[in-house]
């Protein structure tokens, strides 16, 4: 596991974008796993800039998103379909046929989850999975207590995550109770991981993920076991690491 500490959010986002762009240059038909939330927005803005100013080509890239709220149609402003198209996809030359986002309105959610897993396999697996991290240690919507071998499935959001996500809705009651999410095992199958964290609110999460014991009560800690995982965070998110300067890149 490689931990890279950058001065601030902008520097963190640019460093992450360089890793993504390098993969696309080396493998134009790569498979990218995308995350939503506020943390990767800077990364996506930098990828858009690279496309517009440097000709970064997404035309052969296949994408898979981590999760989606159950019960929200794709056009809903808080759906992750809407998020991805507004903040990245409609600004680059990605081929719509190669974009995969869990379908929150699926009639048979269990059947859809099986199809999603199979589609990832058919694409050759995910080359690089981008991740955020919740303050309670969740990755995707794998809440504390999730099986570390879990696959794509429906999950109930815990109250902590619902409160955290309420800022995107009119009130907490509007936050959906259920999501479709890649499992921890699905995430760990990716050939490489790129986890991003920014701000003081993620300092405890990064400390536990990098230096704490591996436990299902803090799902992000499983990243320690991945053969090729990179964590890029800013100074604030790294502030509680005990080996901040001696053991990690900065």
| For the chain, domain boundaries | 2-234
Which distant-in-sequence residues (6+ apart) come within 8 Å of 182 by Cβ?
A: 33, 64, 66, 67, 116, 140, 151, 152
136, 164, 226, 235: the catalytic one is 136
* 161: pLDDT strictly greater than 80: no
- Catalytic residue flag (residue 136): yes
Mean pLDDT over each residue of the chain, to the nearest integer: 94
Burial class (CB in 10 A: 0-12, 13-18, 19+), 94: buried
15, 46, 65, 67: the catalytic one is 67
100, 103, 138, 226: the catalytic one is 138
What share of the chain in percent tops pLDDT 90? 88
The third-level CATH classification (topology) of the domain covering 2-234 is Rossmann fold (3.40.50)
Label residue 249 by pLDDT band (50, 70, 90). Answer: confident
According to the model, what pLDDT value does residue 195 have?
A: 98
Label residue 247 by pLDDT band (50, 70, 90). Answer: low
- Catalytic residue flag (residue 110): no
Give the least confident one: 103-117, 172-186, 204-218.
172-186
46, 117, 127, 143: the catalytic one is 143
Give the least confident one: 49-53, 112-116, 162-166.
162-166
Write down the residue that tokens 């690089």 correspond to.
128
Burial class (CB in 10 A: 0-12, 13-18, 19+), 87: middle
Could you tell me the CA-to-CA distances from 34 to 18, 62, 83, 212 in Å, in that order?
Answer: 15, 10, 11, 26
- Catalytic residue flag (residue 143): yes
For 55-174, where are the alpha helices, taking DSSP H only? 80-87, 109-122, 159-165
């Amino acid at each position: 596991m490689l931990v890279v500490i950058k001065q601030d959010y902008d520097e963190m986002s640019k460093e992450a974008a360089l890793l993504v762009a390098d993969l696309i240059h080396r493998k134009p038909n790569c498979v990218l796993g995308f995350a939503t939330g506020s943390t990767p927005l800077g990364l996506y803005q930098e990828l858009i800039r690279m496309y517009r100013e440097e000709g970064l080509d997404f035309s052969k890239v296949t994408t898979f998103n981590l999760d989606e709220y159950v019960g929200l149609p794709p056009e809903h402003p808080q759906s992750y379909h809407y998020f991805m198209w507004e903040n990245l996809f409609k600004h680059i030359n990605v081929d719509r046929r190669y974009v995969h986002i869990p379908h929150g309105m699926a009639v048979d959610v269990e059947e859809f989850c099986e199809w999603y897993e199979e589609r990832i396999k058919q694409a050759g697996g995910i080359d690089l999975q981008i991740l955020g991290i919740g303050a309670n240690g969740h990755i995707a919507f794998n809440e504390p207590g999730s099986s570390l071998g879990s696959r794509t499935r429906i999950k109930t959001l815990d109250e902590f995550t619902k409160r955290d996500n309420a800022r995107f809705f009119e009130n907490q009651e509007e936050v959906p109770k259920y999501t479709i999410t890649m499992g921890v095992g699905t995430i760990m199958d990716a050939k490489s991981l790129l986890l991003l964290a920014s701000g003081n609110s993620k300092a405890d999460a990064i400390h536990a993920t990098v230096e704490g014991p591996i436990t299902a009560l803090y799902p992000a800690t499983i990243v320690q076991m991945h053969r090729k995982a990179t964590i890029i965070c800013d100074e604030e998110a790294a502030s509680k690491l005990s080996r901040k300067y001696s053991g990690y890149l900065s």
